[in-house]
Chains A and B, each alone.
Chain A
Amino acid sequence: MNELPELPFLSRVSLAIGSFFALLGDGRLAARVQALRSGAPLASEVPPPAPAPVQAPSPPAPVPAPAPVRATANVDAALQLLALLQRESRFVDFLQEDIGAYSDADVGGAARLLHGGARKVLQDTFDLVPVRTEAEGSRLTLPAGFDAAAVRVTGNVVGQPPFTGTLQHKGWRATAVRLPALTEGHDTRVIAPAEVEL
């Protein structure tokens, strides 16, 4: 029997929050968690059955591990954003169409439509600010302990900070995200419903 090691408290908090949304969104996962809570052993805890001589070993049952839980929680938001982009700017239609056959003028016309709508979605959904306020092309110095997630250094990366270099891209950071609230049971996988005129 392979007992799993105990998780630290913070990981348990993030798992609990992630699981909350994952369970709301995934009925099958919820059923499995319910079985687990009522004492059913995990596949990894069950001793493997004695191998049958002529049968290939069955694939191991999937384990409800933290990673897929987080992925499930993000899927709704991603689908929601895609649906918004499609509704306001025909984003999916544009990308799914083969533009090779059209002239630049035709593509440009559609791009205008896409730009106007997608921009509205971007502005409605996110508050965006540049990561660095300096003008692109200017020289700047990164002190020791700079936020490596917000600033990416490239090129001659040697020695110890402070680093001095040229700002190539000012970066973007979302300071607020406002996705529409979702109603219970809404199927976000429908990005655009088929339309039938009666």
Chain B
Amino acid sequence: MSGAKYAIGIDLGTTHSALSWVDLHSEGAAPEILPVAQQSGPGAVQDYSLLPSFLYVPHDSEFAPGDLALPWNAAPGRITGEWARSHGALTPIRLVSSAKSWLGHAGVDRRSGILPADAPPEVERISPLAASTHYLQHLRDAWNHRHPEAPFEQQSVTVTIPASFDPAARELTAEAAQAAGYHGITLLEEPQAALYSWIAGSAGDWRKQVQVGDVILVVDVGGGTSDFSLIAVTEDAGNLQLNRVAVGEHILLGGDNMDLALAHGVARGLAAEGKQLDPWQMRALTYACRLAKEQLLSDPGLQSVPLVVPSRGSKLIGGSIRTELQRELLSTILLEGFFPAVESSARPVARPRAGLTQIGLPYAQDAAVTRHLAALLGRQVGATAQLPGFAQPEGATFLHPTAVLFNGGVFKSELLTDRVLSTLNAWLAADGAPAARLLHGADMDHAVARGAAYYGQVRQGQGIRIRGGTAQAYYVGIESSMPAVPGLEPPVQALCVAPFGMEEGSEAPLPPQQLGLVVGESVRFRFFGSSVRRDDQPGTLLDFWSPEELQELAQIEATLPAEGRAAGEVVPVQLRARVTDIGTLELLAQASEGAAGGAQWKVEFDVRDA
């Protein structure tokens, strides 16, 4: 946005959000983190560098009047952040959590009040969209409170999203930002933001750490999601260029699942001794396990860390349960459960698991991050084929990364980065390729927000920009005109409407095929995305595809208003795809002939129950 003094980067995370900012008028300034004022207990407001993405809807008589006050709001109806998380754990029926995962969940209506998922009827429910809006509003208010001289609305704002978000989830994020009063925002993929943060933190030194021909793998494991991206380093007129060539699938699996799995592991041991934990103690144990995990992961010499689960009553010593977290259990659950050293040919398997799921969200069936990584690299073996100088060696079974950048709180542990890196290097060695090296990142908690703020500088022409465009090609499903076979669904063809790699602000050529839209009626189409078909152009028609090639997304819906036309009339249209400046995909139905020739209507991503 012109006239902005600051570039603001917002990491809207599944479990934590953060705001970073940088002065646009001082070249080379480093992004800073905004301390976010939030309720930390009854009647107390504290600044934290992270805003836990939790929302608590209190009962009318639950707290004394004024106990919820924020500096900018004397009587907010809800609790946001730290206190929401700690108190909500005791009353989960009033706690909204993981709104971002719900926002990316195509199986539910993301605009209707569905959270908290297990709330009784009298508790007011809000939509995943409204919850995301609420966090964004809180960050905006916290900024305005601290920087009254530079109103948020006048700054250049970047909001991050998982690279794996589909077009509908991207659009919903942009919509939430608009509803929160953000103007002229840009969306940025989180692994890209992490790389930007690494570039910003290296103070120019990054040019020495990577070279032309490098393929950088960004592994970002957050609190609730795992996100991968592959970025190739090329050269143009003597300058290094960064090209994001592929992104991973949407995997709901993160650090919180690991803490929960550890706690359940310890609780099983206690149950064997005849000690049953109630939900309150279970929460205390999960918290204790997180701290113990961090201790064990940072000190390889420790064999076990004592855990104390306090009693809930005021008798602290008498009612406490003492146990310990053994390194053996940690290794079994964390290293072998989440980061097993598998073969490069391993693929995620579907199997029932205990202790990892919450009703409703489509959590990853396979907890092994390394298997998801193997699947991505195997699927994307041809991702760099079109880049000069990136030919993968003959017989390569997967795309060979040459450098790895880690992001996310779990990778503060060298044990885990070592495990991922050594697993990857074993795959590379088996393929006869050189080992990948580690890019030393700076700030696992704030890199995404910092990178987003840095991206605001980049957009002003300071520093290098990662080129990428859309990481998928998009297809509309149309029924093929074959004779119907009783008992079989009519076969569907996939018509490409948006090619791979569309840049922000660009428009795809019109596919020649015409679709018929009925005036006054809403027509729904099946919608597909492919992260591997890089050559399809608008108009390409696919008859067959493997499940690996095309993934079905939420449906799209076009409604033709009856303006000046007879209801029921069929208007032939072509579908035009456009990527907005914000970074969202837009589909337009354009009338191809007749009186309405050239007129356009927006095609909506159906974010309701698919």
Contacts of B314 in A (CB 8 A): 93, 96-97
Asked whether any CB of chain A lies closer than 8 Å to the CB of B434, the reply is: no
Complex-state Cα separation, A173 to B74, whole angstroms? 35
Asked whether any CB of chain B lies closer than 8 Å to the CB of A180, the reply is: yes
Contacts of A113 in B (CB 8 A): 308, 310, 316, 320
- The residues in A between 111 and 140 inclusive whose CB is less than 8 angstroms from any CB of B are 112-114, 116
Complex-state Cα separation, A106 to B65, whole angstroms? 40
Asked whether any CB of chain A lies closer than 8 Å to the CB of B315, the reply is: yes
Asked whether any CB of chain B lies closer than 8 Å to the CB of A46, the reply is: no
**B42, B44, B320: the one within 8 Å of A110 (CB):** B320
Q: Mark B304-341, 1 if CB is under 8 A from A, else 0.
A: 00101010101111101010000000000000000000
Complex-state Cα separation, A185 to B68, whole angstroms? 11
Is there contact, CB below 8 Å, between B306 and A109? yes
Complex-state Cα separation, A187 to B42, whole angstroms? 9
Is there contact, CB below 8 Å, between A83 and B41? yes
Nearest CB in chain A: distance from B45 CB, A: 4
Contacts of A145 in B (CB 8 A): none
Asked whether any CB of chain A lies closer than 8 Å to the CB of B561, the reply is: no
Question: Contacts A97-B317, A180-B41 hold; do A185 and B306 have CB atoms under 8 A apart?
Answer: no
Asked whether any CB of chain A lies closer than 8 Å to the CB of B586, the reply is: no
Nearest CB in chain B: distance from A79 CB, A: 11
Asked whether any CB of chain B lies closer than 8 Å to the CB of A9, the reply is: no
Q: Mark A96-109, 1 if CB is under 8 A from B, else 0.
A: 11010010011101
Complex-state Cα separation, A184 to B312, whole angstroms? 30
Q: Mark A178-198, 1 if CB is under 8 A from B, else 0.
A: 101111111110100101000
Is there contact, CB below 8 Å, between B315 and A186? no
Is there contact, CB below 8 Å, between A182 and B308? no
Question: Contacts A109-B308, A183-B69, A186-B66 hold; do A94 and B317 have CB atoms under 8 A apart?
Answer: yes
Complex-state Cα separation, A188 to B66, whole angstroms? 13
Is there contact, CB below 8 Å, between B44 and A184? no
Complex-state Cα separation, A83 to B306, whole angstroms? 26
Question: Contacts A80-B44, A181-B44, A186-B44 hold; do A97 and B316 have CB atoms under 8 A apart?
Answer: yes
Asked whether any CB of chain A lies closer than 8 Å to the CB of B71, the reply is: yes
**B44, B65, B317: the one within 8 Å of A107 (CB):** B317
- Name B316's closest neighbour in chain A (CB-CB): A93
Complex-state Cα separation, A107 to B316, whole angstroms? 9
Asked whether any CB of chain B lies closer than 8 Å to the CB of A87, the reply is: yes
Complex-state Cα separation, A83 to B291, whole angstroms? 22
Question: Contacts A109-B322, A183-B66, A185-B65 hold; do A87 and B41 have CB atoms under 8 A apart?
Answer: yes
- Name A90's closest neighbour in chain B (CB-CB): B316
Nearest CB in chain B: distance from A76 CB, A: 10
Is there contact, CB below 8 Å, between A181 and B316? no
Is there contact, CB below 8 Å, between B66 and A110? no
Is there contact, CB below 8 Å, between A184 and B320? no
Complex-state Cα separation, A195 to B317, whole angstroms? 18
Complex-state Cα separation, A187 to B63, whole angstroms? 12
Nearest CB in chain A: distance from B44 CB, A: 4
**B45, B315, B317, B318: the one within 8 Å of A183 (CB):** B45
Is there contact, CB below 8 Å, between B71 and A181? yes
Is there contact, CB below 8 Å, between A102 and B318? yes
Is there contact, CB below 8 Å, between B291 and A116? yes
Is there contact, CB below 8 Å, between A102 and B317? yes
- The residues in B between 39 and 80 inclusive whose CB is less than 8 angstroms from any CB of A are 40-47, 64-69, 71, 74
Number of residues from B at the complex interface, CB < 8 A: 29
**B71, B306, B315: the one within 8 Å of A97 (CB):** B315
Q: Mark B429-445, 1 if CB is under 8 A from A, else 0.
A: 00000000000000000
Is there contact, CB below 8 Å, between B310 and A90? yes
Contacts of A105 in B (CB 8 A): 322
Contacts of B318 in A (CB 8 A): 97, 102, 106
For the residues of B in contact with A, the DSSP-based class is: loop
Contacts of B44 in A (CB 8 A): 80, 180-183, 186
**A116, A187, A195: the one within 8 Å of B64 (CB):** A187
Contacts of B46 in A (CB 8 A): 178, 180-181
**A99, A188, A193: the one within 8 Å of B317 (CB):** A99
Is there contact, CB below 8 Å, between A94 and B64? no
Nearest CB in chain A: distance from B43 CB, A: 3
Contacts of B306 in A (CB 8 A): 109, 112
Complex-state Cα separation, A32 to B320, whole angstroms? 49
Contacts of B317 in A (CB 8 A): 94, 97, 99, 102, 106-107, 109-110
Complex-state Cα separation, A180 to B43, whole angstroms? 9
Contacts of A183 in B (CB 8 A): 43-45, 66-69
Complex-state Cα separation, A178 to B45, whole angstroms? 11
Question: Contacts A83-B41, A110-B308 hold; do A184 and B69 have CB atoms under 8 A apart?
Answer: yes
Is there contact, CB below 8 Å, between A195 and B312? yes
Complex-state Cα separation, A90 to B319, whole angstroms? 13
Q: For B66, B315, B316, B318, which residue has the most chain A Cβ atoms within 10 angstroms?
A: B316
Nearest CB in chain A: distance from B322 CB, A: 4
Complex-state Cα separation, A112 to B295, whole angstroms? 14
Q: Mark A150-167, 1 if CB is under 8 A from B, else 0.
A: 000000000000000000
Question: Contacts A106-B317, A109-B320, A109-B322 hold; do A180 and B45 have CB atoms under 8 A apart?
Answer: yes
Contacts of A195 in B (CB 8 A): 312
- Name A192's closest neighbour in chain B (CB-CB): B314
Complex-state Cα separation, A193 to B67, whole angstroms? 13
Contacts of B40 in A (CB 8 A): 180
Contacts of B71 in A (CB 8 A): 181
Question: Contacts A109-B308, A180-B46 hold; do A185 and B66 have CB atoms under 8 A apart?
Answer: yes
Is there contact, CB below 8 Å, between A182 and B315? no
Contacts of B66 in A (CB 8 A): 183-186
Complex-state Cα separation, A190 to B63, whole angstroms? 13
- The residues in B between 72 and 113 inclusive whose CB is less than 8 angstroms from any CB of A are 74
Nearest CB in chain A: distance from B411 CB, A: 23
Complex-state Cα separation, A116 to B74, whole angstroms? 34
Complex-state Cα separation, A80 to B41, whole angstroms? 11
Q: What are the 6 A-B residue pairs with the smallest beta carbon separation, nearest first? A: A186-B43, A180-B44, A183-B69, A93-B316, A180-B46, A181-B45
Q: What are 30 contact pairs spanning A and B, CB under 8 A?
A: A80-B44, A87-B41, A90-B316, A93-B315, A97-B318, A99-B317, A102-B317, A105-B322, A106-B318, A109-B306, A109-B322, A110-B317, A110-B320, A112-B306, A112-B308, A113-B310, A178-B47, A181-B46, A182-B44, A182-B45, A183-B44, A183-B68, A184-B66, A184-B74, A185-B43, A185-B65, A185-B66, A186-B64, A193-B42, A195-B312
10 additional contacts, CB 8 Å, given A97-B317, A113-B308, A181-B71?
A99-B317, A110-B320, A114-B316, A180-B45, A181-B45, A182-B43, A182-B45, A183-B67, A184-B66, A186-B67
